[in-house]
Structure 1
Amino acid sequence: MILEAAMLYVKQGKEKEYEEAFRKASEIISSMKGYHSHELQRCMEEEGKYLLLVKWETVEDHIVGFRQSSEYQEWKKQLHHFYDPFPTVEHFEKVKLS
């Protein structure tokens, strides 16, 4: 399992509208192959800053399965106009400590 992490900066004054749009768009991502879970965290120190965490079975499920799908086009339509600048997305894997 991998973790997708995206730092999101939402245009000033659009936070409530964004959160509602994100609630609706969540149906899109949660229907995708390889999807496990996601959460959106609002920064307490900086207005308009969010952290999106998504668990995928594989990185390919995100990069190929989701990003190259028609569903992603709808995701973009619903959410991408809120971001400034465009988010940086990274993938992480759990470190085995024992």
Structure 2
Amino acid sequence: MRTDCVPLGWRPDVSVRMWSRCGQTCPSVGAMENPTTDLLALKRVRALVRSGSARAVRIGAGLTRTEVARAAKVSARSLARWESGERLPHGAAALRYGAILDSLMDEHR
């Protein structure tokens, strides 16, 4: 369970407890549509961040940090922390960021 979130209540339509962090609603891990696929995607995006490849992909695509941050629905500061290795992406934001990176890498193949 995330210790930085507070419970909002139960959503029986998706069988998951909803949480709030910084005023945003986010599902707990139980809400992953395909937990195995999502965990593999999370592992992949974190590996890209750790290696510095995530930043290289963004720059290679000619995109600014702000543009990618908006698309991933995170702040530019969060993206900067991920790219610098200060923090690792997590949750739905990490999955969105990973999908963006995958799309950018597929486009340049």
TM-score (ref. length: structure 1): 0.31
Higher relative contact order (CA 8 A, sep 6+): 1
Larger strand fraction of residues: 1
Larger radius of gyration: 2
